[in-house]
Amino acid sequence: MSGRREPFGISASGMNWGETAWEDAIDYPGAVQIGLGAKLLQELPWSRFEPHSEWVSWKNRNSPEKPQSAGIADLIRVMYLPVCDDVTVRGLKANSSHRAFWFDLLTGRRTAIGKINATEKGLWDAPLPPLGGQDWVLVMNEEKP
């Protein structure tokens, strides 16, 4: 990292990743947003997460941007959604119940979706998030009977 007293400069590969000191960059909006995401993950058993891109898809979209998902099967799912229309959650247990909320990556605010139920095919169509035009995270916890 580049610091005010010790600039990093050019790396061994010849690249320069910017001259902003970490002491300044830590207050940039992107750094704040990374901190909000880290705070969310610290509340979850993230070290046990496995990637599951098959858990989430868009129903009616052919786009290079793809939603991503990770979690622990039959316990928790965390889905990153670069675009939040027509989202289908897949691979749920048939007729299972879950609690879900939207996580705003810009503010850290959570908006409860409440209890949701999977279909007989293990699908759930997520509602639209509170605001459009930005990235969101959808978090789901399975309710045990």
When pLDDT is cut at 50, 70 and 90, the band that residue 138 belongs to is very high
**Tokens 């879950």 map to which residue?**
98
In sequence order, what are the beta bridge partners of 137?
80, 103
> What does CATH list as the number for 47-142?
2.60.40
**Tokens 């293990």 map to which residue?**
122
Q: pLDDT over 70 for what percent of the chain?
A: 93
CA–CA separation, 123 and 108 (whole Å): 27
Is residue 1 within 8 Å of residue 26, measured between CB atoms? Answer: no
In sequence order, what are the beta bridge partners of 104?
136
> Which sequence spans correspond to the domains of the chain?
1-43, 47-142
Give the model confidence (pLDDT) of 40-96 as tens digits: 999 999 999 999 999 998 766 666 778 899 999 989 999 998 876 788 999 999 999
Is residue 127 within 8 Å of residue 109, measured between CB atoms? Answer: no
* Start-to-end C-alpha separation, the chain: 49
Residues ≥6 apart with Cβ < 8 Å to 136:
81, 84, 102, 103, 104, 105, 129
Classify the C-alpha dihedral 32-33-36-37 as positive or negative. Answer: negative
